[in-house]
Each structure stands twice: as structure tokens, then as C-alpha cells.
Amino acid sequence: MRFASYWHDTAPAFTGATAGPTDGTWDVAVVGGGFTGLSAARTLAMGGAKVVLLEAGTIGSGASGRNGGHLNNGLAHSFTAAKAHLGPERAVALYRALDASVDHVERTVADEGIACDFKRVGKLKLASKPAHFDAIARNFDVVHREVDPDTALLSRDDLKGEVRSDAFHGAMLSKKSAVMHMGRYATGLAEAAVRRGATIFEKAPVTALRREAGGFVLQTPRGTLTAKEVLVATGAYTTGAFGWFRRRIIPVGSFIVATRPLSDVEVAGALPRERTFVTSMNIGNYFRLSPDRRLIFGGRARFSAVSNQQSDARSGAILRAGLAELFPQLATVDVDYCWGGLVDMTKDRYPRAGRNEDGLWYAMGYSGHGAQMSGYMGATLARAILGQQDDNPLKGLSWPAVPGHLGQPWFLPIVGFYYKMLDRFQ
């Protein structure tokens, strides 16, 4: 078993990074080389801006390469709850933005010729308890009537043709959802950004930032640069140079295993329909088939802000047990990959994007659902920076700091215990 991201291990490396010092003067500096930053850099360059992207590690090495490979449309949680929390108009706008985000990825893949196995397959939100199906059915009624007719409600009997497991009591199908190979997309998107005129530096973390007349000064270990505008797209990997965001972002570990490639018989006996699958538990699981027919199975195995081999191994054992519980027929199948990473949560689990009082643009807080939303928001903010249009569905949404949070989420074990109790008794 390899303790490495399947997406990284099976994708070509990006070779278009610029060597040498980061010194220079730019129109826009993008901080973070995940899907948000890469999409923003590409859009800015296409709009004529002189843009530089600074990545602390390597392209796609953060959350963009540490996810389940789902591109799910629609809200991950209750639409009725979103209407109550955000207001009906913003809830609808956010739902439609998530739909548009999958369209954005599909269009980018086609326009840039990125070979990343993009495919529309649909998502099933699986009810893990009978009461959960009742809640899913109520949410479906509102969603289907008010915002998304491309949905369906599946009974327990309907699921027999979708997933070979006795653990579920029905599901909601969101038909626009898709899958792709995340590593190949990251490399292809970076190559496209460079081809369009962006400059990318890897191994160039921003260690200090200050504002001065006409823009910002950014310090990296490889030099100093200035930019008129700065877009922060660092998510859970935000450093101390950006304290305003660290007080608002909660980094949470997300852990994943990938089995060996399954035979046709094994696939037919577990997942006869190619979908993305998400369970309804608060500490639930998500799974799908990879392009080479592995079962990729992930979840919040533990509420931790640490991802290293020891932590990933412990979480992988929990996931392996969860896989066997849902699919006893695959209990003895070898696991080839086990990896983890951090995702950027917000207190209310809704993303944030806009411009703060310090003049910094930002898009982050995708709360585990950024694979699809991140590229769309990067492009959306890039258009706003260019002065073309500002159709940000999150513009003006308040984002208060988390009380007592200065960057290290000491409270995660408490949150984890709370959600475990909800799963036990609800």
C-alpha cells in the first residue's frame, strides 16, 4: 500500500514552472496553486493581465489533489436550511453556481483539451437511516420544485440497480454531477494557464505581505515582488502571513483509500452504475469508481488537522472497516493507496469569496466540496478583478472570525464528538 495520493501518483508532473527568483512587478499575484488559483490565473491571463501564481509546494498538492474526485452539482446540505440561513435569493444563486461550476469544468476541459476522464454520471445522496430518507425526501420536494428539476427520488428498491449494499434506505439523485481525474486536471489546467500567459512559481510560499501605495509587496524565500492586486486561494493551507483568513478557516483532515482495480464481476457486484455516492451521516463516507476501476472510498475518518503517514494510516484503517461494513463482498480486496489532506471548512459550512477590508481578494472555505466550485470561483473573481463583471454569488456574505481560533483548530475533537453523538441518536 502506498501512502500517496492516487491522483498525484497517476498523473503527469507539471513541468512549466518558472525557475529563478520571484522578483518582479505584476498586475495580479495569485497565492495558491490549486484549482481556484490556477483557474483565476488562466482567466486573468486570457483577459490581458500580467499575472503570477505563487505555490508553496507543487501544483495541486493541497486540497485539489486530496479529495474523492467528485464534481457534485447542487448544495451538499439541505436547500431548505440554506434558504433559512442565507435567504432564498442567495440560496438559489449558490445552488445554481454549483450547477454552473460543473459546466465550467466541462467547458475548460474541452477548450484546453485536458485528458482527465471528465464524465457526467450523477450523484446519489444515500440515506443511511430511515429517518434520513424522510429528510432527504422533504429536501427533494423543495429542490425539485423550486430550483432543480434534474433530480429524482429513489426508493430502497430503486437502489438495487445502483449500489449493491443493504445499508441504505433510498436516495436523492442529482443528475448533473460528474467525475474526473483530479491530478490530470490540475496538470492540464496549469499548462493551460502558462500557455495563456501566466507565470507560475512552485516552492515559493508567501512568508510576508504588506500593503503599500498602489498595491502589495509579497516576500518569498526566492525574492520580493509587487502586485496591484492579490488573490488568496490557499484554503486549509493558509499560512501565518494571512492571519485574517486563518482566523476564519478551519482546516479539517479528509482521508481516502483506493483499492486495487476491480474486476468486471466485482464492479457489477458492488457499483453497477457509475455514480458519485455520498452517505447521509454527519461523519459519513463518499465513494466512486476511478478511471481504472478502483473503488475510491473516503470520509472524515477522524476530526484532525494533521495529515502525515501515521495519521493517514490510522484513518485508512477506519475507512477500510467502513468499506467492509457497507460492502462485505469487497472486505478482502487489497487497498493500494491511502492518503489524506486538509480541506478548508467554515463555521457554517458555506464557502466565502470576495474582497476583504485589507483589499485582498479571496475564494475558499469550500467545506469539502471545492473540487467543482473552486475553478468556477477562481474564474468569477478573476473577471471581477479585470473589471469585466462581478457575478459572485457570495459577494457581501459576512464572514466573522471563529471565536478563540487563531489558526490551530484546538476544538476539532469536541466537534467530532458532537457529530458522533448526532449520528448515534438521529
Would 53 be classed as within a structural domain? yes
Give the tens place of pLDDT for each residue, 240-287: 899 999 999 988 878 899 999 999 999 999 999 999 999 997 668 999
Query: In the sheet where 285-289 sits, what is the strand order?
Result: 151-154, 171-174, 123-126, 276-279, 285-289, 295-299, 250-259, 335-345
Would 1 be classed as within a structural domain? no
Q: Which domain covers residue 62, as residue numbers?
A: 6-425
Higher pLDDT, 423 or 281: 281
Q: CATH number of the domain that 131 lies in?
A: 3.50.50.60
Is residue 131 very low, low, confident or very high in pLDDT (cuts 50, 70, 90)? very high
Predicted local distance difference test score (pLDDT) of residue 87: 96
Task: Give the global pTM.
Answer: 0.94
Is residue 411 scored above 60 in pLDDT? no
Would 143 be classed as within a structural domain? yes
Number of domains composing the chain = 1
Predicted local distance difference test score (pLDDT) of residue 418: 46
71 Rama sector, left if φ>0, alpha if ψ -120 to 50, beta otherwise: beta
User: CA-CA distances (angstroms) from residue 18 to 33, 188, 199, 404?
Assistant: 13, 16, 7, 40
List, in sequence order, every beta strand (DSSP E) within 21-134: 24-31, 51-54, 70-71, 119-120, 123-126
Predicted local distance difference test score (pLDDT) of residue 140: 97
Would 109 be classed as within a structural domain? yes
